[in-house]
Structure 1
Amino acid sequence: MPHQVRQESHTPGTRTTARTRRAAVLGSPIAHSLSPALHRAAYGELGLDSWTYDSFEVDESGIAGFLADLDGTWAGLSLTMPLKRAVIPLLDEISETAASVEAVNTVVFGDDGRRLGENTDIPGMIAALRERGVERVESAAVLGAGATASSALAALARVCAGEVTAYVRSEARAREMRGWGERLGVPVRTADWSDAAEALRAPLVIATTPAGTTDALATAVPDGPGTLFDVLYDPWPTSLAASWQERGGAVVSGLDLLIHQAALQVEQMTGHGPAPLATMRAAGEAALRARGA
C-alpha cells in the first residue's frame, strides 16, 4: 500500500468515547514495555472508561497480518523495535517528522480506516529537554549511533544552534551519522568511541547506547557538567547518570522521554488532552518499582 507524506498537524482529531475503543503497543520483545501502564493511567485520568490498551508480541513477519485483522474499534498503535521501519510500507500516510528519520512509532486509525504514521519520539525528546529547562544549546554530543541516535539528531536540529559530535565505534557508523546529519540539516562531526570522554564537556550530551555501554565514562564526568539525556530507564540511574548528578549536572532520563512521547500518542489517538503527565509519570515509576521488587 503506497503512503504519502502529509503536513504536520498538532490538533488531535475528535473521537467518540461512547463505545469501546482499543489501542496497544506492538514489538518484540514486548514484555518489558511500560506503555500499558502509562496509557491506562492517562485514560483513567481523562475519564476514558471505555478505552483499553494492551501489548502484543509482534515481529516484522507478523505486522502485516496483525494490521489486516483489526476492526473498527481500534484507534491506534504504539510501535517499538523492530517495527518502526517495517510498518511504513503498510501505511497510507506518514508525517513529515516520521519521514525525516524513516521511523514510525505511532499509528493512528482515521474514522475512514486510513492508517496514519506518526513519530512522537522526536517531539517527545524536545519536550523532555524543555521540561528540564533546555531550550537551546550552542553544541551537543551524541553517544552511539542507530535508530535512537538518528532521532536524537532530528531533535537536535531544533535545539542545537551549532555542531553535533557523534561518538561511534566504526567508520560505517560514522558515515551513517554524517548522512543523517546532512539529511536533517545538522552539522555532524564524528569521533571514535575511544575519545568519548571528550563528549562529557559538551553543554548537552545525549547517550543512546545500550545498558552498561557508558559505565566506564562515569569517572570522567567533569565538575559542573551541562545536561545529560540518557535514554535508558531500567535500571536507573545508570552509572553515568549517577555520576553526572553527583557533580551537579542536570539529567533527563529515558522515563522522561517515554512519558512525553506517550503523552503525545494519547492525545493523537484519543483526541483528548492535554495528557496528564504527572499521573503518567507516577504510573511509570510505580511500574518500575514493582518490576524491581
Structure 2
Amino acid sequence: MRCAVMGDPIAHSLSPALHHAGYAELGLDWRYDALRVGEDELTDAVAGLGPEWRGLSLTMPLKRRALLLTRAVSDRARLAGAANTLLLEDGVVVLADNTDLPGAVAAVRERYDGPVTTGTVLGGGATAASTGLALCELGATSVRLLARAPERAAATAAAIAAHPSGPHVEVLPLTGGTVVGEVVVSTVPAAAQDAGLVARCADTAVVFEALYEPWPTPLAASVGADRVLVGGLDLLVHQAVLQFEMFTGRPGPLEAMRAAGVRELGSRRPG
C-alpha cells in the first residue's frame, strides 16, 4: 500500500520519516513518499493514482483546494474550510478530513492542562483556521486573529466564528495588534517574528509555534521555564498519528513517530 504527503514546497516535510517509523514499529510493508504538487496540479495528481494508494497528507497550498475533490467531507474539515487528509479506496478519494484541528487540541493538552478562555492566532491561512478552532475546542469563547493582510483573513475568521460554541472573532493587523488570552498560536514565518511581535506575546501562558523548521523561531526562543511551549513537531506528530490510524486502521505509535521526527530534525541541523 502507498501513501504520500503532497504540497509545494515539500522537500522539508517530516511526514515521510514519521509515517515510515510507524510502519516499521507495526511491521507494515507500506511506502510513504513526498510529492511536489502545486495547487493547480492537485486534481490531476490525485486522479492519476492507482488502486494501491490509501491516503494523502496535504500541506500548503493544497488544504482548501482539497475540499473540491470529493463530496464526502468530515464535519471538522467542513468547519475549518480545509482538509489536510484524503482517504482513498482503490485509488479513489472517499473522504476529505482535517486532523490538524484535533491534533492541535492534543498537542496543547499534552503540555498544558490550564484554562483556555481567550486566545490569539498570528496569521490568517488554513493552519490559522484549524488552530483557531482548536482554541474553541479547548474552551476559548473569544479568538483574535492578527494577520499580515487582514483583508485576506475573512474566510479564516468566518470558519472560526462558525464553531458550535459561537465564539467572538476579530481580525486586526499583525503589526501593532495586541495579543490577548492564555494561548498565542503562531502560524507566521520566522522572518515575520520581529522583536516587537515577540514582546507582545510575552504575557501569554502558552506559546504554540506551529513551525518546526527553522527551530527555534524567535518566538519559540523567547519562552522561558515559567511558560509552556508547544512546538510544530508536537502538532505534526499528533495529527500524523490520526492520519496513520485512518490510513492503516491500526493505532498510531505516537512515541516511535515522535522519536523519528526528532532524529530527522537533528540530522538536518548543524552540529
Structure-1-length-normalised TM-score: 0.84
Alignment counterpart, residue 210 of structure 1, candidates 189, 205, 209: 189
Deviation, 1:119, is 0.6
What is the distance in 2 between the residues matched to 1:73 and 1:58? Answer: 19
Relative to structure 1, is the Cα distance of residues 72 and 175 closer, same or farther in structure 2, using a 3 angstrom cutoff? closer
- How far 1:60 moved relative to its partner? 2.2
SS of structure 2 residue aligned to 1:66: helix
Query: Which position in structure 1 is the counterpart of 2:248?
Result: 270
The answer to whether structure 1 residue 123 and structure 2 residue 102 are counterparts is yes
Relative distance call for 1:115 and 1:176 in structure 2 (3 A) is closer
Per-residue deviation, 1:136: 3.8
Measured after TM superposition, the shift of residue 181 of structure 1 is 3.5
For residue 98 of structure 1, give the secondary structure of its aligned residue in structure 2: helix
Correspondence for 2:238 among 248, 260, 269: 260
How far the C-alpha of 1:157 sits from its partner, in A, is 1.9
Answer yes or no: is 1:41 the counterpart of 2:21: yes
Q: Which blocks of at least 5 consecutive residues in structure 2 are unaligned? A: none
Aligned residues: 267
Matches within 5 A, 1:41-190: 41-48=21-28, 50-110=29-89, 113-134=92-113, 136-173=115-152, 175-184=154-163, 185-190=166-171
1:239 aligns with 2:218: yes
Partner of 2:12: 32
Partner Cα separation in structure 2 for residue 192 and residue 114 of structure 1: 38
Q: How far apart, in 1, do the equivalents of 2:172 and 2:151 lie?
A: 12
Contact 2:6 2:58 in 1 (8 A): yes
Distance 1:98 1:221, change over 3 A: closer
Which of 188, 191, 194 is matched with 2:172 structurally? 191
Q: Is the 8 A contact 1:85 1:102 kept in 2?
A: yes
Q: Name the counterpart of 1:285.
A: 262
Please report the TM-score for the alignment, with normalisation by the length of structure 2. Answer: 0.90
Larger radius of gyration: 1
Q: 1:250: which partner in 2?
A: 228
Stretch of structure 1 that moved more, 35-44 or 207-216: 207-216
